[in-house]
């Protein structure tokens, strides 16, 4: 499972959520390319996916397609767009910078940082409702597929999935999700183990090798 590549809004510290339909920027494209190459190089350790499930957000779909092309040199996998995997709806916060939000909604901002699952965004979703939506999508994926898959999501989308699969609700604030980070989860029946979390090792590639 990965997070989408960088967007202008990410770089500027702006909440995107669900209504800001942004595209990955040039940095995001490079990040996605490097991730695909990394996954291909280590396929003996982490077998490549046979299908990609992505949030229906443009930035996630673009990332999934770019990673796939970098892995195979062509678009050979099915890329399934899933609205259930969309980022949480931040409501009135979307399109605004973190510092502005902190100033305008000090108590809510503190609640979001300290007790995220108790949050309900003004004009948007509650964390509980968003979690239910994401996990319904995850259930469809797990019940309908066998083998190695790739999920492309967002910060909160990914954390909901990780908390659920690894049965650790504290991970909602205990794990970061950088742009194009790689999370590898091993499945054995109904048991899930984390092999790698929030890895950005692919971004350590020397500049001359990024072309």
Enumerate the domain spans of the chain: 2-87+126-209
The per-residue pLDDT for range 88-147, each reduced to its tens digit, is 999 999 999 999 999 999 999 999 999 999 999 999 999 999 999 999 999 999 999 989
Give the model confidence (pLDDT) of 14-35 as tens digits. Answer: 999 999 899 999 999 999 999 9
**Taking 60 as the threshold, does the pLDDT of residue 209 lie above it?**
no
Q: Please state the pTM of the whole predicted model.
A: 0.94
Burial 10-38 (b: 16+ CB within 10 A, else e): beeebbbbbebebbbbebbbbbbbbbbbb
The continuous run of DSSP H or E covering 140 comes out as helix 127-144
Q: What is the architecture, at CATH level 2, of domain 2-87+126-209? A: 3-Layer(aba) Sandwich (3.40)
Average pLDDT for the chain: 95
∠ Cα 130 22 135 (to 5°): 20
Residue 211: the pLDDT is 57
């Amino acid at each position: 499972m990965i997070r989408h590549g960088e967007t202008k809004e990410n770089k500027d510290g702006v909440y995107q959520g669900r209504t800001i339909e942004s595209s990955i920027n040039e940095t995001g494209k490079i990040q996605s390319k490097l991730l695909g190459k990394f996954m291909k190089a280590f396929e003996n350790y982490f077998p490549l996916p046979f299908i990609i499930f992505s949030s229906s957000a443009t930035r996630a779909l673009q990332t999934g397609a770019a990673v796939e092309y970098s892995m195979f040199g062509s678009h050979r996998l099915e890329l399934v767009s899933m609205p259930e995997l969309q980022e949480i709806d931040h409501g009135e916060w979307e399109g605004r910078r973190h510092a502005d939000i902190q100033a305008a909604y000090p108590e809510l901002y503190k609640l979001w940082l300290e007790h995220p699952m108790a949050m309900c965004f003004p004009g948007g979703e509650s964390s509980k409702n968003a979690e239910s939506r994401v996990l319904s999508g995850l259930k469809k994926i797990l019940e309908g597929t066998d083998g190695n898959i790739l999920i492309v999501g967002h910060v909160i989308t990914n954390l909901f999935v990780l908390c659920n699969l690894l049965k650790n609700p504290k991970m909602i604030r205990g794990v970061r999700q950088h742009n194009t980070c790689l999370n590898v989860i091993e499945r054995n029946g109904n048991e899930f183990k984390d092999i790698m979390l929030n890895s950005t090792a692919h971004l350590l590639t020397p500049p001359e090798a990024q072309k």
